[in-house]
Amino acid sequence: AARQRAGAQVYQAIDERFPRWLADIADADPESVAEQWREVLRSEAHRQAEHLAQNAPSTAFTGRGDGTSRMDVGRALFFLRR
């Protein structure tokens, strides 16, 4: 449930920004604007990850699951920041 909410929040933030970004790239270099958009996506994902970590309950720091399926705030932030 938390993973789905986090994904929805990132998608909503990106969805709001995309039309404005698209309108601004009319005559721009395609490679340059693609890199620019990747940076927007990265930045928004990091911003949302920090927000989620700051608002996570203490149980999220302990995590759940075993072995490779174990997930906690630290692991989630690691995966989001790659």
Structure tokens at 38: 């990747």
**What per-residue confidence (pLDDT) applies to 37?**
92
**What per-residue confidence (pLDDT) applies to 6?**
76
Paired with 64 in beta bridges are 71
**What per-residue confidence (pLDDT) applies to 1?**
67
Q: Are 63 and 70 in contact (CB under 8 A)?
A: yes
Counting the structural domains of the chain, the total is 1
62: nearest Cα among 51, 49, 76, 48: 76
The range of the structural domain enclosing residue 14 comes to: 2-81
pLDDT in tens, the chain (82 residues): 667 887 888 889 899 889 988 888 888 898 999 999 999 988 988 888 888 888 888 888 888 777 777 888 888 888 777 7
